[in-house]
Amino acid sequence: MTKYNKEFFQNKIILAPMVRMNTLPFRLLALDYGADIVYSEEIIDHKLLKNMLDTIDYIDTSDGSLIFRTCSREKNKIIFQIGTSDAERAAQAASIIENDVAGIDVNMGCPKHFSVSGGMGAALLSNISKASNIIQQIRNKVNVPITCKIRILENDQETINFCKVMKENGVSAIAVHGRTVKERPYHRNRNSVIANIAKTVTVPIIANGGSNTIETYEDIIKFKADTNCSSVMLARSAQNNPSVFRKSGKLPLDEVIKSFLKYAIHFDNCFPNTKYCIQSMLKELQNTPKGKLFLESQNLEEICDLWNLGEIYHQKENEFKSKGLHFQCDILF
Ligand code: FNR
């Protein structure tokens, strides 16, 4: 029996998948600020197929590293994005994760050499039979909704055709980034092409690619109207300041980083990822005196001191110690 409800992808504001950025603390922060659905970063199917522990921490048992961490709070809101080039492997990976997530997305838009040369991401846009087979096999194996995230093709009719075929194969929604594989983030996003797809294809289309013009909540609503989509998905504007999802307006970045750090402490997020996410939010503010001290930090404790969170850090560290566990140890066993 399918858990999918038709409204799930309708009228939603969504955090787009972002490698390294979209770990649990950042996803929860986006939910706090009003995102309706959050995507995971892309996780390659191989990784999930390695001997897993039966928890909501998915661990690579060959080296003890954490592959994916989730929690009950986001269970009905997290879409897990898979990078794949093989239908059988993708279906197996999807079935491992399905009970802990609200849906599975297949990345069909990543233009990076690593993805495309391995037959994943945007390589699937030019191999419609493989893309179809991947969706069908996942569909046959899992009960949660399946989506795909694509870029537009050179030819509008081809993009519409691709979306129609994905719909026939059973996707519940399609996220469309309005740039072609060759185009870079500074190129104009083709909002009118997305609008045309939304008008023509009878599956919810999630508009993406609008961050160059999105600074505020009102800009999100404008992007939604310009693309004629019921849902929109943000990557870079959320990366800059995830409180952009707040209807009542953005919060100062210092406050946002403090909230992010509280989650990072609470969930024992690994230091390199915590530093990467804060660096991505700080951008040019890394050149300020505080930014420079931040760049020199070697561990979470030093970062917490900069945002006056030393006390919370030490409380958590003591909690771990009292249970005989190591806090801030990236390798889990
Ligand atoms: C991305 N993007 C991306 N897309 C995807 O399908 N899977 C992924 O893992 C990633 N990773 C990623 C990391 C970072 C840091 C950025 C900035 C982007 C692409 C992203 O989801 C989105 O399609 C584009 O950024 C365009 O949307 P915006 O930024 O204009 O909202």
Q: Which of 71, 110, 163, 304 is an active site residue? A: 110
C-alpha of residue 143 to centroid of ligand 1, in Å: 26
Q: Which atom of ligand 1 is nearest to the CA of 16?
A: 21
Q: Which atom of ligand 1 is nearest to the CA of 109?
A: 6
| Model pLDDT, residue 331 | 57
pLDDT over 70 percentage in the chain: 95
Reading the block at residue 280, the tokens are 């991505």
**Domain range list for the chain:** 13-245, 253-322
Q: Which residues contact 150 (CB under 8 A, 6 or more apart)?
A: 108, 109, 125, 159, 162, 163, 166, 174, 175, 176, 177
Average pLDDT, the chain: 92
For 178-209, how does the pLDDT look when each residue is reduced to its tens digit (9 = 90+)?
Answer: 999 999 999 999 999 999 999 999 999 999 99
Reading the block at residue 11, the tokens are 């009228």
| Model pLDDT, residue 263 | 93
| Model pLDDT, residue 107 | 98
| Model pLDDT, residue 323 | 74
Asked whether 239 lines ligand 1 (CB < 6 A), one says: yes
pLDDT band at 53 (very low <50, low <70, confident <90, very high): very low
For the segment 248-268, the average pLDDT, to the nearest whole number, is 95
| Model pLDDT, residue 72 | 85
DSSP 210: -
Three-state SS string over 165-212 comes to HHHHCCCCEEEEECCCCCCCCCCCCCHHHHHHHHHHCCCCEEEECCHH
| Model pLDDT, residue 135 | 98
Query: For the chain, what is the largest distance between any 2 Cα atoms, rounded to a whole number of angstroms?
Result: 62
Q: Under CATH, to which class is 13-245 assigned?
A: alpha beta
